[in-house]
Each structure stands twice: as C-alpha cells, then as structure tokens.
Amino acid sequence: MRALLPLATWTFAGAVAAQQPAATPCAAPEYRQFDFWAGRWDARWTDAQGKTAQGTNRIEKTLDGCVIVEHFDGAPSSPLKGTSVSTYDRQAGRWKQTWVDNTGAYLDFTGGWQDDRMVLSRKAVVQGKASLQRMVFRDISAQRFTWDWEVSSDDGATWTTQWRIEYTRATR
C-alpha cells in the first residue's frame, strides 16, 4: 500500500496540472503587431479602367489570438474573393501569411514591421521572370490605412505599385 501512495499522488498531481489553463502561447508583443487590421473594412481602389472600385474585408483574430484570418470580397466591383491566414512564427522571428482565392491563386509571404509599416514579401516568377512581390500596410490609424501591392524586377532596388487599396473601418 505504501508503494502505491507515491504513484497515486503523482497521478493526482498530473491530473490537476492537466486541468490548469496553459500560459497564453501567443502573448508576446509581436503577436499584437497585426491587431490594427482586425475588424470590418470597406476597401476602395482604382480598377484597370480608371474607375473607383469597392469591396469589403473582414479580419478576425482566432485560435486564442495566435492567428489572423482575412476574408476579402471584391463585390460589387470585382468577382475576386480570397482568404488569408497569418501568424507570427516565433522561431523564425517573422510573420507568415498564406493567401488563397477563387482564381486558384496560392501565395505565401513572410515579413514584419519595417519602420512604421507592415511589409510582407515573397519571391515569384512572373511571365518567366524572377521578381519580388510585396504587400505594404502603411499610413495606419485606428480608422484607416493604405495597402499597396508592389512588384520589383531588380531584386528590390525599385518597386512599382500594381494595386493600391484604401481601407476605412466599416461603420455597418
């Protein structure tokens, strides 16, 4: 019986420990860097014909604050719909994002804060040529920010803006 007492005590202590809530795994300040993006947004851009276009974007934090999920809808101006999943990779010290959409696109980005901007980039091959692509979130405030899709064909020496979206926080 005496031999069983330490085993029972150890088993009970293990069961109690298993019921204790774990420390929040994503409590580090880096996990808050994308908090500005969370919420509902109205998006406006200029389309290929030079007309003002609009859509919406809903961004939610999920999985105990460890993941940011984006739901972009280009309607009524564009049929484009897409979703991204972003998280801070503690070991790499970088943000990572995966984008998929209803055109069959799959894009993967890494990055983080540079000065006062969030910059996520990737290497790509466009029309047979190596290039860099990046998203730049800038001019960030509680109610608005600008998002630029940029491309570089000279290894990042110069960047060309391909698509600019002006985001304003949705009131509805």
Q: Three-state secondary structure along 102-151?
A: CCCCEEEEEEEEECCEEEEEEEEEECCEEEEEEEEEECCCCCEEEEEEEE
User: Which structural domain, as residue segments, surrounds residue 93?
Assistant: 28-169
Cis peptide before 6 (omega within 30 of 0): no
pLDDT tens, position by position, for the chain (172 residues)? 555 444 444 444 454 445 555 578 899 999 999 999 999 999 999 988 889 999 999 999 999 999 999 999 999 999 999 999 999 999 999 999 999 999 999 999 999 999 999 999 999 998 899 999 999 999 999 999 999 999 999 999 999 999 999 999 998 7
**Is 15 part of a structural domain of the chain?**
no
What is the structure's pLDDT at 67?
Answer: 97
What is the structure's pLDDT at 150?
Answer: 96
Q: Kindly report the CATH number assigned to the domain that includes residue 78.
A: 2.40.128.20
User: Is the distance from CB of 132 to CB of 156 less than 8 angstroms?
Assistant: yes
Total domains present in the chain: 1
**Is 11 part of a structural domain of the chain?**
no
What is the structure's pLDDT at 25?
Answer: 86
**Is 149 part of a structural domain of the chain?**
yes
> Residue length, the chain?
172
What is the structure's pLDDT at 8?
Answer: 45
- Cα distances from 136 to residues 126, 159, 165, in angstroms, run 19, 11, 10
**Is 71 part of a structural domain of the chain?**
yes
**Is 1 part of a structural domain of the chain?**
no
**Is 3 part of a structural domain of the chain?**
no
What is the structure's pLDDT at 85?
Answer: 98
